[in-house]
Chain A
Amino acid sequence: MAFIDRGLRAFRAAAAALAVCMFALLGAPAATAAEVNVYSIWPENWARPMFEEFEKATGVKVNFVRFSSGEALARVVAEKNNPRIDVLFGGPVETFAAGVPQGIFESYKPPSFDKLPERFRESSGQWVAIADDPLVFMTNKKFLAEHKLAPPASWQDLLNPVYKNMLQMADARTSGTAVTRIFSILEVNGRDENKAFAYMKQLRPNVQLYTKSGGGGTLPVGIGQAGGGIFFIVDALDTKAKGYDVAISFPKEGIGTSAEAIALIKGAKNPDTAKKLIDWATSAQMQSLFAKYKINFVPANPEVKVEPSLAAVLQGAKIFPIDAKYAGANRKQVVDRWIAEVLNP
């Protein structure tokens, strides 16, 4: 059946060539010897410029498709015996941690490995972090004005009854954002699980919707269908950059942050170019480009400075890393408890 597929590809090439003639918009993809196949969990508008820069720097062509973290992981697991890609790129560490026991990654330690703080790397090199992403409170300014409120500056502020049924945040079943949020709440409550869950249950009536993806609530908050929520800073700043009138604030008790990672796929067909991409992505070369493309991740590589306007937002914010060991050991139990006691009381 492969020949049919080749035929179809040839047909598409012809169609593409025709399109070039007609629109002069699309260049036929140049055939390069070196390439690397990637599933990107980062949205295309961040991943594409990164890969284009990589191509410019190394001459290696990146073929990629974008999937949400869950879909990407489900695919890599299903393709385990005959991998289709070489690198899994971007996406919260939780996703990568879930992939490790499935045996889908090949350990690889890029040159930057030893420079990275411990929480930005899996000890045997199953994954390595490329960025850091703190959580923030994001609120709709019109909503705040209507209720004469200041942006929430404490976890307790979110319990205010004016937020009743007006907050959106991620669902812990599907979103790393939510897991980071829950561990933040555990942390500010001194890891006293009962106290933390009492808070979450108290917050429950104010939650309008637990969204599937971490950024799912940004648009509703932006247009005012929801009053506010808890999001990663990249999503929040992106909402603001789009022109939505939102306020970004941090709780005085502190809030957690989660790393974004990259990993080599076991049985990768292009291991050399894959390693090249991982070397590049974990180095200052890629992470110093975040600012140029207005990607508001905090670089994981300590050699790269945080971009000034992002640094200004983060100024004075109390941000703590989630202890990977503690989170790893308790994740399933805590999420199960969240489903049973908070989501479906």
Chain B
Amino acid sequence: MRPGVGARLRAEPALALAIAILWVLIALFIVYPIAMLLARVFVEDGHFTLTGIAAVLTDRHQVVAFWNSLLLGTLVGVIGTAFGFIFAFAATRCRLSPTLIRLIDVAVLLPLVSPPFTMAIGYIFSFGARGLITYDLLGIKGAGVYGMTSTMTAEAATYFPIAYLALRPMIAAIDSNIEGMALSLGASRWRVFRTVTLPLCIPGLANSFLLLFAASLADFATPLILAGNQFPVLPTQAFLQITGLFDLRGGAALSLMLLVPALLVFVAQRYWVGRGHYVTVTGKGAGQAPFDSVTPVARWTLVSLCVAVTLFIVYLYVLLLYASLVVAFGANEAFTLQHYRVVFTEGLRVLGDTLIIAAIATPLGGFYGVLLGYLVARKRFVGRTTMEITSMVNYALPGTIVGIGYLIAFNDPPIVLAGGALIIIACYVFRYGATGIRTTIAMMQQLDRSLEEASESLGASSSTTFRRVTLPLILPAFFAGLGVMFIRSMTAISATIFVVSLSWTLVTVKILENMTELALGVAAAFSVVVVAIVFIVIFAIGRVLRRLRAAGASAVTGLLAT
């Protein structure tokens, strides 16, 4: 018989303490900034007011933008998840050569490790009236680049690696013996895939749909450049409302509209996934699959698809590299290293600031994600669901709103953080730690509780069980979380543009600035350097881990160590 919740917490002071600390942090860095922002929005001269907000919410064009955002988020979620799944499945089940897998890994990680705008800028050069692909290659005249198709494909291409990153360890963790048994019982490969493999992936698929949907809802950079005037979406509208029309109220109201679908998807996902039972990691070990999971035709289709997508991404980055090495792309294409000279002189301090902040935010965010994910997935305590939902708020809200909220909340006493590094670090941890939380929870849903129960029934405390049993099992989630934290710390912009200061500024802000002032070469050079740094760091982490860690972490470190 299980003891009551209260009794368990009393019996485990470490658990109670961890929960208490998490609540304090969540209150401080998630609830407080949003509350301060809401206070600015809804309170005027001490009175509650809806002026300004009503006007925005009843505006026909904002309503259109709302539905456009939902459509875009859904399409990006579905298409990105589908591609993430295809890539993950091909990488784990199609017996690809390790070299090919490594090449694909490097290429598909590019959009994920790049500063925003890079993909969109590549699109601007490639499609359109004088686009390299539409005009120079295909000879189409008067092609358009702005609109839903460009925005959607650019976002899907940017975010599908998240799905790949989340799904690959999950598929790898599925005991192929289960599939083998189904095959040997006479089921066709398609039937095995449909009735065994796919259902086992549902937590991961739902999880990655949620991540991509949220990423699309929060992305203002891509639509800002690619959506044009015919396809307005809310994050961009909110950004324009605040920075263009100087209407904080209206902008915040638009952003709050975004919170509704984000939370709805999240809740739906929770209940849909929560109903099934998907344990595949048990106390018994899993062997290597001794059979082919797919037919040769299916295999070639999957592989060609992966290669085509990969080549497209590589093309966009060759373009970026080229832009960083010529005087002025499209005008004076003489070779120069001038842009890199700027990066390593004027830009050196910014690079240093960015690296220091990323180096601090990464372990903090990784640990925060795993701890919170583990607690809400495994422990029973009061307010557990509230904690899980609250922890997603900063991730689900558009960055503009989170950034402004932080600036308002932490600029004045009692808590003054503005102007320092901590406000940026906190912003990263509580915004992008969410990825680690989601991955951990999804991972925990695959782990049999009996492993931990065995440990606890033998007298180990919660913390010992977590450290000795659970942690090694969820290390892949932890390292995936670390990777995402580092990448985001190097590349995020929407929220951080409001929390950088005179003393601490970030490379992405610099890139945005250079892009908007026609210094495209410098912007490209900065982007190339950022991508290189991220790859080196991830490679180094992977090397260290491979030396230190056992089989449990290999799936993800293999990915990260490319």
Q: Which A residues are in CB contact (< 8 Å) with B349?
A: 16, 26
When A1-B422, A173-B245 are in contact, do A71 and B518 touch as well, CB less than 8 Å? no
Looking at the complex, which one of B125, B144, B505, B518 makes contact with A239 (CB distance below 8 Å)?
B518
Closest to B142 in A: A165
* Interface bin, chain A: 35 or more
Please provide the chain A residues from 157 to 179 with a CB less than 8 Å away from any CB of chain B in the complex.
165-166, 171, 173-175
Query: Are B419 and A98 in contact, with the CB atoms below 8 A?
Result: no
Looking at the complex, which one of A15, A85, A222 makes contact with B330 (CB distance below 8 Å)?
A222
Chain A, 204-228, contact with B by CB distance < 8 Å: what is the 0/1 string? 0001111011011011101111110
Query: Are B516 and A216 in contact, with the CB atoms below 8 A?
Result: yes
B497 at the interface (CB under 8 A from A): yes
Query: Are B498 and A71 in contact, with the CB atoms below 8 A?
Result: yes
B344 at the interface (CB under 8 A from A): yes
A73 at the interface (CB under 8 A from B): yes
Please provide the chain B residues from 506 to 521 with a CB less than 8 Å away from any CB of chain A in the complex.
509, 513, 516-520
Closest to A242 in B: B328
A12 at the interface (CB under 8 A from B): yes
- Interface segment among A3-11, A121-129, A130-138, A310-318: the answer is A3-11
Most chain A CB atoms below 10 A, which of B243, B244, B344, B498: B244
Query: Are A15 and B328 in contact, with the CB atoms below 8 A?
Result: no
B529 at the interface (CB under 8 A from A): no
Shortest distance from the beta carbon of A331 to any chain B beta carbon, whole Å:
11
Looking at the complex, which one of A23, A73, A173, A245 makes contact with B344 (CB distance below 8 Å)?
A23
Complex Cα–Cα for A70 and B416 (A): 24
Please provide the chain B residues from 382 to 434 with a CB less than 8 Å away from any CB of chain A in the complex.
404, 407-408, 411-413, 416-422
Question: Mostly helix, strand, loop or mixed at chain A's interface?
Answer: mixed
Complex Cα–Cα for A73 and B240 (A): 13
Query: Are B505 and A65 in contact, with the CB atoms below 8 A?
Result: yes
Query: Are A223 and B229 in contact, with the CB atoms below 8 A?
Result: no
Tell me the A residues contacting B by CB distance below 8 Å: 1-2, 4-5, 8-9, 11-12, 15-16, 19, 23, 25-26, 37, 43-45, 48, 63-68, 70-71, 73-75, 77-79, 81-82, 84-85, 98, 165-166, 171, 173-175, 207-210, 212-213, 215-216, 218-220, 222-227, 235, 238-239, 242-245, 335, 339, 343-344
- Kindly list the 4 A-B residue pairs having the minimum CB-CB distance in the complex, ordered from nearest: A70-B243, A174-B244, A223-B330, A243-B331
26 contacts between A and B (CB under 8 A): A1-B420, A8-B420, A15-B356, A16-B349, A26-B349, A37-B502, A44-B517, A70-B246, A71-B497, A74-B404, A75-B407, A77-B246, A82-B411, A82-B412, A84-B411, A171-B229, A173-B240, A173-B241, A174-B245, A208-B146, A208-B228, A209-B146, A210-B229, A223-B329, A223-B331, A225-B128
Contacts A235-B518, A239-B518, A242-B332 supplied; 14 other A-B pairs, CB < 8 Å:
A5-B422, A12-B356, A25-B344, A26-B348, A65-B501, A70-B242, A71-B497, A81-B412, A165-B142, A173-B245, A219-B518, A222-B331, A225-B131, A335-B245
Tell me the B residues contacting A by CB distance below 8 Å: 60-61, 124-125, 128-131, 142, 144-146, 224, 228-229, 240-246, 248, 327-332, 344-346, 348-349, 352-353, 356, 360, 404, 407-408, 411-413, 416-422, 497-498, 500-503, 505, 509, 513, 516-520
